[in-house]
Amino acid sequence: MMRKIIHVDMDCFFAAVEMRDNPALRDIPIAIGGSRVQRGVISTANYPARKFGVRSAMPTAMALKLCPHLTLLPGRFEAYKEASHHIREIFSRYTSLIEPLSLDEAYLDVTDSLHCHGSATLMAQEIRQTIFDELQLTASAGIAPVKFLAKIASDLNKPNGQYVITRMRCQRLSKRCRSARSPAWGKSLRQSWRTWGCEPAEMYRTAI
């Protein structure tokens, strides 16, 4: 039986919690982490800030050069943990096979789940909608038969979207994996493609 893996990734999670709790922040560039007077690193940034090039793990000083009017917030980790706990409780309604990767993302193995007539695609849609209904936060999801590909898929229709990797999409995805943001074609990647039933060397030639 082919496994059904969903990778759920919250959209700019820390920033999204701040914008939910303070609507005045929704349309301005904000970032979590660091300060204007001390050295620090950005934990996450909302999409208005990302338009200026502000990214996670970026030194705060660099972020302020890119976006001088950036609003910096210290972070409220108890609020983020509370939201994360609620999200995982939603996951548990669909499967007990949950592998958290951080506060804002996790793998769900729904292979044996009977929800939504066993459709992983419909389960992902329902999970995302439930998260929004109960927490007013958006999530993106990727669906595939292996974790590695599910994680890639969750990034292909962000924000607030989802993507399913089917065998027919395998070659198309190989082309996307040549982009600068995608992982290198190392041993783990080759193994993941073969697990999916694709030959990396052939796909590499197609991508070129």
Question: What residues are annotated to the active site?
Answer: 105
Helix (H) or strand (E) holding 80: helix 77-92
CA atoms within 13 A on the CB side of 25: 20
The DSSP-derived string for 151-201 is HHHHTTT-SS-EEE--GGGHHHHHHHTTSTTSPPS-HHHHHHHHHTT--HH
